[in-house]
Amino acid sequence: MAVLVRALLITALLAVAGLPTMPATAQQPGPTTPVSPVDPGLYAYLSQTPVTLLEWGMLRLGRDVQASVTALSLEGGRGGAVKAGTLFRPFDRRVLAYISLPVSGKARSLDQCQEIYTLVREHLLAGAPSGLSGPPWYLQRLFGADTRGSSGRPEPFGEMLVDMVLLEVTLRRPEAEAFTAGAANIVCAGRLDQEQAAIVPPWKPPA
């Protein structure tokens, strides 16, 4: 019974996140059903390992970033794939929402990077309240758990999330320019309460 309840809860969470759930026809065995049974250890691990609020929020944020790329038509006419998603940086415990685009030649500039950052930031916050309350409201909606209330939650929760989450844009060399002279990759980033991104200097190994 506990496994059934957990399965129903996972299905409900996927529906809330706007992710596809299993259609009714997929629940019935058919000619493509594997003959060998699913390993019980694998099933137990997947069905009993909980999803954290960090993972849940990153999943939803990544979905929103990808939706921004599509809505802003950032994928069209480029010499390579546009990469977008989220990742966790263990060394400073920050969540990075990233977009990496191939950009040719002189178009790789800080101004262009900051322009794309602004467009994506505004798209993410389009449904949030205006002003400084928008970013905390938006991130709390993504990373919060409505069913758990605020018991045990650190406060100010929304403002702390604003400090934790960074939006990063990378303008990288297209593959066709990998061995040609020209501007290096340009990276800019900022918090969602910052209207303009700052340049991120290239990484250097410690002296």
Q: What pLDDT score does 16 carry?
A: 53
Question: What is the residue-averaged pLDDT of the chain?
Answer: 85
- Those residues whose C-beta lies under 8 Å from the C-beta of residue 139, and which sit 6 or more positions away, are 57, 61, 158, 161, 162, 165, 192
Q: Determine the average pLDDT of the residues in 175-186.
A: 77
What single string gives the DSSP state of each residue in 115-135? HHHHHHHHHHTTTSPSGGGHH
**Residue pLDDT, tens place only, 189-206:** 999 999 999 999 887 777
Highest mean pLDDT of the ranges 29-33, 120-124, 177-181: 120-124
* Strands (DSSP E) found in the chain: 83-89, 94-102, 165-172, 186-190, 198-199
Residue 5 has pLDDT above 50, yes or no: no
Reading the block at residue 3, the tokens are 């496994």
Q: What pLDDT score does 80 carry?
A: 84
Domain ranges of the chain: 2-26+37-48, 53-199
